[in-house]
Amino acid sequence: MNKKEALLCASIAQSAYTNRSNEADFQMTAKFENKGTDTQGLMGVAYDNTFVVAFRGSEETGIADWLTDLKFILNLFPYGKDEVKDAQVHQGFISAYNSVRDAVLDAVRKTPHKRVICTGHSLGAALATLCALDIRCNVSGKEVSCYTYGSPKVGDDNFVKAYNRLVANTFRFVYRSDVVPSMPPGSYNHVGQFQQLGQQSETFSLSAILDNVIDKLEDHLPQNYVKALRDML
């Protein structure tokens, strides 16, 4: 795992909330949005050789809604063909991703850069995960990596197994006791290589998370991820 690249991706993921980036190593080239699903993000080039797709996360109260309402019903992952068989993912996440999929895949196919990074914080991290696997399955000639920050769980064990096999260069960061990665409940698990930032100061029972998720989101803020990674360098 490249710490400098992880910091850059965390900064880009934070920039997706404002659609502005001042990072010297990243040049934003386009934005994408679906107003119907309130799904958006930005794209650009890092280090002059890597195409980056960053998905915007949700506001604090918004991610609580995503994780605790009925949208966490599982649906089959629709883009994997024979490579991702019987894998199921969060219904709300896949619906949001599908609403911007055409624009994102079109840009990935057109970029001359062979290497692609998908990134995002919170809800954006879940969408980046889905996008990384979709690119790996459906766009030839690309090397796909994924950096996520404060990501909720995205799919079931079949999804996790297929994803980890196909997108091995995935790094999942959790800051201290961020509760969002504990969600949603049910038959979900995490993908990627786990990276703890800061000391985990507290653990929560599932009932406590469901009852108090909005009150326990301080560790989930994107600026905490950027600062912790900057402190590591």
Q: Is the peptide bond before 185 cis (omega within 30 degrees of 0)?
A: no
Annotated catalytic residue: which of 151, 178, 182, 219? 178
Annotated catalytic residue: which of 122, 151, 177, 182? 122
DSSP 51-120: EEEEE----HHHHHHHHHSGGG-EEE-TT-GGGSTT-EEEHHHHHHHHTTHHHHHHHHHH-S-SEEEEEE
* Known catalytic residue at 178: yes
10 Å CB burial of residue 182 (0-12, 13-18, 19+) is buried
For Cα atoms 161, 162, 167, give the angle at the middle one, nearest 5 degrees. Answer: 105
Residues labelled catalytic? 122, 178
